[in-house]
C-alpha cells in the first residue's frame, strides 16, 4: 500500500506548503504527476517548476516501468527549498546508469542526479516500499 | 501527421514540414513521455526514413519531453547519418548536454 501518511522525520524548517497526491499506476501516471506538480508550484520560478516537473516525470515513469504499484507524490516547500517525495510499494534497486550514447534507454535517474540539488532513496519504515526524493533550491536561477 | 492521445496521458504530434529556406524538417509538438513515445516514435522513424543526409528535428512547439522522448530521438537518429535538433528549450538542451548526447543529437546554435 502507498499512501499520503507520516511526515518525514527531522524537518527543521517551517513548512509553507505540504500536500500529497495519490496516482494510479497507469501509463498516464507521469502526465498526471506533472500536472499535479505544475498546479502545486504555480507562482514559483519557471526554472524550478520545469525542473521539478521533469524530475517527477522521470520518477513516475520508473514507478510505472519497474515498481508496478500506485504512487504518492508529496510536495513540501519551505522558505528557500522544495522537497519532493515519490513513494511506491516496490522494492527494486534505484541506481543511476551512465549508458553509452549508442544505448537508447537508461537515462532517467541520470537526469534526476544532474538536475536536482540533492536526491536519494528512503526505505519505508514499515518495510513496504520506498521513496525516491529530491530537493531544489527555490532561489537559484536554474538555466 | 500522427496525433496520439492517451487517456489523460501526454498529447503530442510528429509531422513533416519545410522550414523558411524550403528545407524538409520534422516538427514535434506537445508532450512526449512513456504514454505516447512508442507511437510517436513509429511516426518519427517513418518520416526520417533511413540513410541519406542530416535530418532536422524542430522542437519549437515541444512543451515537454523526458527521457522517453530522448530514447525516441536516439532510435530515429540511429537510422540516419545525423540528427540536428533545432529550437530546443533550455531544459531539453540541458538534458541532451548532461546525458552526454550532444555528439548524437546535434544542437543547432
List the domains of chain B with CATH numbers. 2-107 (3.30.750.24)
> What would the DSSP string read from start to end of A84-98?
EEEEES---------
How confident is the model over A50-92, as pLDDT tens digits?
999 999 999 999 999 988 899 999 999 988 899 999 999 988 7
How confident is the model over B1-40, as pLDDT tens digits?
555 444 578 999 999 999 999 999 999 999 999 999 999 9
What's the pTM? 0.90
> In A11-90, which ranges are continuous DSSP H helix?
29-40, 46-62
| B75 at interface of A, judged by CB pairs closer than 8 A | yes
Give the number of beta-carbon pairs within 8 Å between A and B: 82
| Cα A129 from Cα B61, distance rounded (Å) | 38
Residue ranges of domains in chain A: 17-137
Q: A58 contacts in B (CB within 8 Å)?
A: 66-67
Average pLDDT, chain A: 89
Q: Are A24 and A47 in contact (CB under 8 A)?
A: no
Average pLDDT, chain B: 91
Q: A50 contacts in B (CB within 8 Å)?
A: 89, 91
Minimum CA–CA partner of B32 in chain A:
A31
**Contact: B34, A143; criterion CB under 8 Å:** no
Of A74, A79, A110, give the one whose Cα is nearest residue B66: A110
**Contact: A107, B8; criterion CB under 8 Å:** no
Lookup result for grid cell 537510422:
B79
Residue in B64, B70, B95 closest to A34 by CB: B64
| B33 at interface of A, judged by CB pairs closer than 8 A | yes
- Please give the pLDDT value at position A131: 94
| B58 at interface of A, judged by CB pairs closer than 8 A | no
Higher per-residue confidence, A123 vs A12: A123
Lookup result for grid cell 528512503:
A122
Q: B4 contacts in A (CB within 8 Å)?
A: none
**Side-chain half-sphere CA neighbours of B60 within 13 A:** 10
Of A76, A84, A69, give the one whose Cα is nearest residue A119: A84
Q: Give the CATH number of domain A17-137.
A: 3.30.565.10
DSSP state of A128: S
**Contact: B91, A108; criterion CB under 8 Å:** no
CA B46-B7-B62 angle, to 5 degrees, is 50
**Contact: A53, B9; criterion CB under 8 Å:** no
Amino acid at each position: 500500500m502507498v499512501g499520503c501518511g507520516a511526515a518525514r522525520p527531522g524537518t527543521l524548517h517551517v513548512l509553507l506548503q505540504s500536500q500529497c497526491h495519490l496516482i494510479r499506476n497507469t501509463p498516464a501516471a507521469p502526465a498526471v504527476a506533472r500536472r499535479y506538480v505544475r498546479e502545486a508550484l504555480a507562482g514559483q520560478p519557471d526554472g524550478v517548476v520545469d525542473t521539478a516537473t521533469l524530475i517527477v516525470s522521470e520518477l513516475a515513469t520508473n514507478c510505472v516501468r519497474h515498481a508496478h504499484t500506485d504512487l504518492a507524490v508529496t510536495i513540501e516547500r519551505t522558505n528557500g527549498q522544495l522537497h519532493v517525495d515519490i513513494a511506491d510499494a516496490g522494492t527494486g534497486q534505484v541506481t543511476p546508469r551512465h549508458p553509452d550514447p549508442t544505448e537508447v534507454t537508461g537515462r532517467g535517474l541520470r537526469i534526476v542526479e544532474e538536475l536536482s540539488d540533492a536526491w536519494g532513496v528512503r526505505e519505508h519504515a514499515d518495510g513496504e516500499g520506498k521513496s525516491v526524493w529530491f530537493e531544489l533550491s527555490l532561489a537559484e536561477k536554474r538555466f | 501527421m500522427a496525433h496520439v492521445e492517451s487517456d489523460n496521458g501526454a498529447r503530442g504530434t510528429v509531422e513533416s514540414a519545410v522550414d523558411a529556406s524550403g528545407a524538409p524538417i520534422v516538427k514535434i509538438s506537445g508532450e512526449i513521455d512513456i504514454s505516447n513515445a512508442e507511437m510517436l516514435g513509429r511516426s518519427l522513424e517513418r518520416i526520417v526514413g533511413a540513410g541519406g543526409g542530416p535530418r532536422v528535428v524542430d522542437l519549437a512547439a515541444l512543451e515537454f519531453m523526458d527521457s522517453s522522448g530522448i530514447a525516441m530521438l536516439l532510435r530515429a537518429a540511429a537510422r540516419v547519418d545525423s540528427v540536428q535538433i533545432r529550437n530546443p528549450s533550455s531544459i531539453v538542451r540541458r538534458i541532451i548536454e548532461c546525458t552526454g548526447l550532444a555528439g548524437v543529437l546535434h544542437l543547432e546554435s
